[in-house]
Structure 1
Amino acid sequence: MAGEWQHTTLGKFVSLQRGHDLTESERKPGAVPVMGSAGQNGFHDAALAKGPGIVIGRSGASFGQVHYCLVDYWPHNTALYVTNFHGNDPQFAYYFLKNINFTRYNSGSAQPSLNRNFIYPIEMNVPQIDEQRAIAHILGTLDDKIELNRRMNETLEAIARAIFKSWFVDFDPVRAKASGEPPDSICCRLGLTPDLLALFPDRLVDSELGEIPEGWEVQTVGEVIDRLSIGKKYEQKTVKAAGKVPVLDQGKSGIIGYHDDEPGVAASIDSPVAVFANHTCYMRLIYFPFSAIQNVLPFVGKGVDTIWAFHAAFGKQSFIEYKGHWPDFLIHKIVVPGMKLANGFSRVVHSLLKMAWEKESESNTLGTLRDTLLPKLLSGELRVPKTVGWADEGSPTPASPQN
C-alpha cells in the first residue's frame, strides 16, 4: 500500500442518508434534478441536497449504482446520498464509491437492498486531499471527453434526421420547385447538390397518406427492408467482460459483453446494419461486426440503402407493452422515393454518421482506459506525479464525472 495514505472506513469517509419521497403528483415544474437509483429521473422546483453530490442506488435493478450531480438536487428515496464528505474531495469520493462492488453488501432477500449500516464498516485507504484532486482530475478529464463526444454525436445524428424529415417527410425540395424557387436557392437552403435536386419531382399528388411527391410510392416498412440472421444467439450470463466480438442487448446501453466466436452480423463503417429491439422498439445503426441476444433483430435496406431505410423506419413503432413488436413494425406505411434519391440521401449523411461512429469508438477506448486506471489509482498501485493536477501546482478545476 502506498505511503501517506490514511486507513479508514467508509462511514468515516462519507456520511450517507436515505433519500426523500417524491411522487409524480408531488413534483412541480423546475430545474432541480431529481437523483434516484438509476441517476437523474426528472426535475423538481426544490432541492434538499447541495451539489456536488453523490447518490447510490439502494434497491431494485439499479442497486449499488453510483451517480454524481454537480448542482443542488433532490435525492430520491430509491437511493442513499452523501450528506457529509468529511473534508474529502466530492469528485474523488464519486470515483472511489463507484469502484466498490456493493452487491456483496445486499441486506435484502428477494429484493436487493443497500443499508448504510452494512457498508459503513468497509475498510479503505485514501490519499491526502491534493492527491485526491489529482486522481479526480485525471479520471474526470477522460469522462469529460466521453461526454463531449456523446453530445457531438447527438447533434450529428439529429442533423441527419432533420435532413431526412425535410426531404422525405415535409417534401421541402418538391414544394420549393413547385413554387418556382430558383434551383441555386433551393440547393443552398436545403443542402442539396444540383444532381440530387433534379431527382425530386416538382408537384405533389394525392395518396392514401395524403399528398406525396409525384412518382413516389406508399409501401410498408416490410417492403423496403430485409431481416438478417444473427446466427448464434447469446444470453447475458454466457458473455464475457472482454473478447473480440461485442454482443448487443435490447436497450440503449448497447453492448452487454463479448465472445470470441465469429460475429453473427458483418457490419462495417462503410456498410452499417440497422437493429430493431423486438421488445423495447429501440433502434440504432451498427457499424461494427457483432452478435446479439435473442430479439435483437438486424436488417438492411431492400432496393434502397440501409441508412435511408433506417431513417424511414425510425420511430414508426412505439412501445405498447412488453411483447414482440416486429410484426407491427413491418406493416407501418412509409413514402418511398426512387432508389437513386434514397441512396443519394445516404451518401450525404454518411459522412456525418461516420464522424459520430468514430467519436463513439474513441469514447469506448477512453472508457476502457478510465476503467483500467480507476482501480489502480484508487488503490495506490499507480501514483499520480506531483506535476499532474495537484492543487498546489495551479492545476485547473477538476473535470466533471459523468453518470
Structure 2
Amino acid sequence: MSSRRMTQGGSLRNRGRLGMAGEWQLAKIGDIAERVAMGPFGSSIKVETFVPSGVPVISGQHLRGTKVDDKVGFNFVSESHAQRLRNANVQRGDVIFTHAGNIGQVALVPESAQFERYVISQRQFYMRCNRDKILPEFVVAYFKTPKGQHSLLANTSQVGVPSIAQPVTYLRTIEIPLPPLSEQRAIAHILGTLDDKIELNRRMSETLEAMARALFKAWFVDFEPVRAKHALSKVEGIEERWQRGQSLPGLPAHLYDLFPDRLVDSAHGAIPQGWGVGCLGDVADHQRRGIQPHDIENGTPYIALEHIPKGRIALTEWGTADVLESNKFVFKQGEILFGKLRPYFHKVGVAPVDGVCSTDIVVLTATSSDWFGFVLGHVSSSEFVEYTNAGSTGTKMPRTSWDDMARYELVLPPKPVAKAFTELMQPSIDRITAGIHQSRTLATLRDTLLPKLISGELRVPDAEHHTKASV
C-alpha cells in the first residue's frame, strides 16, 4: 500500500508502521463513506404512525451486538411514510450508530437481514461504506474497540439525555485505520466467527427455554398427558393401534404409568386424579443468606436487577462485587433469582455462578432437587409474575414479598411426576449454563483480539490460531 501523504481532499494520512501489519493509512470517515445521515427529526416516527406491516423501524434494542438483531421484533411504518423519511432509510450493509440515550451502540445491517430495507429511529444515524475502500464489518469492528468507542464518544454532551453533538458532521471527521481490503476481510471473518458462535449459543438457549416452557405447560397447566390417556381409554380397538412403549402427545412412553387417565373436580378446577392443591411455599424456600460488604471477596460475581433480562431465565451478564457498599444476599449456582422490585418487568433466571445479589432479588430454591423444574416453571411463568404484580405494594416502586409469593396457589403433582419433569428439563438448563460460560469466554477473547487486530499488533494467522482453539 502506498505510504504517500494525501491532502485533506483525498484524506488518507499515513501514520507509519503499525507492528507487523506494514504501513496502514488512516482515513477520515467522510472520505470512505458513500453516505452519512441522521434518522428522522422530531416526532416523525411515533406510536400513531405504526402499522401492522410495512417498513421495519430500527431502534436501540436492535443494536445489542455487532449485527442488527431482527429476532427482537419491529414496529413498522407504511411505505409512503418511509418514502417521506428518505434520509432515514437504510439497507443491508449499512452501519447504524446511536447518537442519543444509550450512545456508543454500533451494529451492521447484515446481508442476511430479514428485510431489504429499514427506517432508523430518531436516535440513530448511519454510514454507508464505499466498499472499494472499506468494509462495513471492519467499521463495526473498529468502533467496538476501546479506541473506536473513545473516538465516537469524544464529542458527547452529558446535559439531559447523553448525546453525541452534531453526530453526522462529527462522524465524518473521525479517522479510522485502513488496512488492505483483504486484511479487513480476514479480520472481519475472525470476529464474525466468534460473534456467530455467541449468537448461536443465544439462540440455542432461547430454543431450549421455549421447549422447557412448552413441556411445563403441557404437564402442569393443560394436563395433556392425562387428557391423552383419557382419550386413549375411550377408543375401541386401541390396543391394535397403540402399544405400551409408544409415546403419546406430551407424554414420553417410559413415563406413561406416572399419570392418571382422568381429571377430577377440585377447588382449583379440574385436576388430574390423585394430584392435590397447594401453594408455592409447599415446594420452595426463600434463601436469606445476608452478607456485609466487607465480607465479600473482590471479584465475586454480582447480579443486580439490571443484569437480569426480561422474560428469560438465561442470565448472561453479571458484574463484580468490588465496590459494593450495602448488604447483599448470597446465591449459589443453579438457584432461582426473582426480581421483586417492579415484578411486572418479569425478571427471573437461574444463577449460572455462585455470587451475591441485590436485596431487591429473592433467592429461591426447591425444597428438594426433585421439585426444581416444577418450581422454576411456575415462578418464571407470566401467570406467576402477574400474580406478584397484582399483590405488590408501593406506588412508585412496587415490590412483592416472599410471603405473598409463597401463598401462590398451584396444583401439586405426586413427587415422582415432579422428579421426572426435572430430569427431563435439567439437561437443557445445564446446556444453557454451559453456553453462557462459553459465550463469555468467546466475548473476552474477541475483546482481547479486536484492538490488536485493528491496530496491526496481532497478525491474522495468530488470531486464527487463538480462535480455533476456543470455538
Q: Above 0.5 in TM-score?
A: yes
SS at match of 2:318: strand
In structure 1, how many angstroms separate the alpha carbons of the residues matched to 2:318 and 2:462?
37
In structure 2, how many angstroms separate the alpha carbons of the residues matched to 1:379 and 1:233?
44
Residue 206 of structure 1: aligned partner: 265
In structure 1, how many angstroms separate the alpha carbons of the residues matched to 2:144 and 2:462?
24
Decide whether aligned partners of structure 1 residues 93 and 230 sit closer, same or farther in structure 2, where only a CA change above 3 A counts: farther
SS at match of 1:81: strand
Question: Matched residues, percent identical?
Answer: 31
In structure 1, give the amino acid aligned to 2:337: V
Q: CA deviation at 1:296?
A: 2.2
In structure 2, give the amino acid aligned to 1:311: G
Q: How does 1:339-358 map to 2 (within 5 A)?
A: 339-358=415-434
Residue 42 of structure 1: aligned partner: 74
In structure 2, how many angstroms separate the alpha carbons of the residues matched to 1:108 and 1:120?
21
Is structure 2 residue 393 aligned with structure 1 residue 325? Answer: no
Residue 76 of structure 1: aligned partner: 121
Residue 93 of structure 2: aligned partner: 52
SS at match of 1:74: strand
Residue 156 of structure 2: aligned partner: 106
Q: Residues 233 and 291 of structure 1 are in contact (CA less than 8 Å); yes or no, is this contact kept in structure 2?
A: no
Q: CA deviation at 1:142?
A: 0.9
Q: 2:301 aligns with which of 246, 260, 266?
A: 246
Decide whether aligned partners of structure 1 residues 229 and 381 sit closer, same or farther in structure 2, where only a CA change above 3 A counts: farther
In structure 2, give the amino acid aligned to 1:325: T
Decide whether aligned partners of structure 1 residues 255 and 27 sit closer, same or farther in structure 2, where only a CA change above 3 A counts: same
Q: 2:186 aligns with which of 130, 134, 141?
A: 134
Q: How does 1:296-307 map to 2 (within 5 A)?
A: 296-302=361-367, 304-307=370-373
Number of residue pairs matched by the alignment: 377
Residue 23 of structure 2: aligned partner: 4
Q: CA deviation at 1:43?
A: 3.7
In structure 1, give the amino acid aligned to 2:103: F
SS at match of 1:207: coil
Decide whether aligned partners of structure 1 residues 139 and 348 sit closer, same or farther in structure 2, where only a CA change above 3 A counts: same
Q: Residues 224 and 249 of structure 2 are in contact (CA less than 8 Å); yes or no, is this contact kept in structure 1?
A: no
Is structure 2 residue 334 aligned with structure 1 residue 289? Answer: no
Residue 92 of structure 1: aligned partner: 138
Q: Residues 247 and 255 of structure 1 are in contact (CA less than 8 Å); yes or no, is this contact kept in structure 2?
A: no
* Residue range with higher mean Cα deviation, 199-208 or 141-150: 199-208
Residue 206 of structure 2: aligned partner: 154
Q: CA deviation at 1:256?
A: 3.3
Q: CA deviation at 1:378?
A: 1.3
Decide whether aligned partners of structure 1 residues 233 and 299 sit closer, same or farther in structure 2, where only a CA change above 3 A counts: farther
Q: 1:163 aligns with which of 202, 205, 215?
A: 215
Instruction: Give the alignment's TM-score, normalised by structure 1.
Output: 0.83
In structure 2, how many angstroms separate the alpha carbons of the residues matched to 1:90 and 1:33?
21
In structure 1, how many angstroms separate the alpha carbons of the residues matched to 2:93 and 2:214?
36
Decide whether aligned partners of structure 1 residues 281 and 203 sit closer, same or farther in structure 2, where only a CA change above 3 A counts: same
Residue 25 of structure 1: aligned partner: 48
Q: Residues 246 and 253 of structure 2 are in contact (CA less than 8 Å); yes or no, is this contact kept in structure 1?
A: no
After superposition, the C-alpha distances for 1:208-258 in whole angstroms (9 at most, x for unaligned) are: 332011222222333332111353478xxxx99xx7532223231642312
In structure 1, how many angstroms separate the alpha carbons of the residues matched to 2:129 and 2:25?
18
Q: Residues 56 and 119 of structure 2 are in contact (CA less than 8 Å); yes or no, is this contact kept in structure 1?
A: yes
In structure 2, how many angstroms separate the alpha carbons of the residues matched to 1:28 and 1:141?
36
In structure 2, how many angstroms separate the alpha carbons of the residues matched to 1:387 and 1:273?
37
In structure 2, give the amino acid aligned to 1:273: E
In structure 2, how many angstroms separate the alpha carbons of the residues matched to 1:27 and 1:81?
22
Q: 1:66 aligns with which of 106, 109, 125?
A: 106
Residue 375 of structure 2: aligned partner: 309
SS at match of 2:338: strand
Q: CA deviation at 1:13?
A: 4.4
Residue 391 of structure 1: aligned partner: none
In structure 2, how many angstroms separate the alpha carbons of the residues matched to 1:299 and 1:278?
12
After superposition, the C-alpha distances for 1:165-209 in whole angstroms (9 at most, x for unaligned) are: 111111122222333446726645434354x33232222111233
In structure 1, give the amino acid aligned to 2:178: V
Decide whether aligned partners of structure 1 residues 85 and 246 sit closer, same or farther in structure 2, where only a CA change above 3 A counts: farther
Pick the structure with greater CA Rg.
Answer: 2
Instruction: Give the alignment's TM-score, normalised by structure 2.
Output: 0.72
* Residue range with higher mean Cα deviation, 42-51 or 183-192: 183-192
Q: CA deviation at 1:345?
A: 0.9
In structure 1, give the amino acid aligned to 2:45: L
Q: CA deviation at 1:337?
A: 0.7
Any stretches of 5+ residues in structure 1 without a counterpart? 389-403
Residue 231 of structure 2: aligned partner: 179
Any stretches of 5+ residues in structure 2 without a counterpart? 1-17, 63-68, 83-88, 234-241, 310-314, 391-395, 465-471
Q: Residues 227 and 299 of structure 1 are in contact (CA less than 8 Å); yes or no, is this contact kept in structure 2?
A: yes
Residue 3 of structure 2: aligned partner: none
Decide whether aligned partners of structure 1 residues 144 and 80 sit closer, same or farther in structure 2, where only a CA change above 3 A counts: same
Higher relative contact order by CA 8 Å / sep ≥ 6: 1 or 2? 1
In structure 2, how many angstroms separate the alpha carbons of the residues matched to 1:157 and 1:364?
19
Residue 372 of structure 1: aligned partner: 448
In structure 1, give the amino acid aligned to 2:50: R
Decide whether aligned partners of structure 1 residues 178 and 50 sit closer, same or farther in structure 2, where only a CA change above 3 A counts: closer
In structure 2, how many angstroms separate the alpha carbons of the residues matched to 1:13 and 1:254?
36
Q: CA deviation at 1:340?
A: 2.0
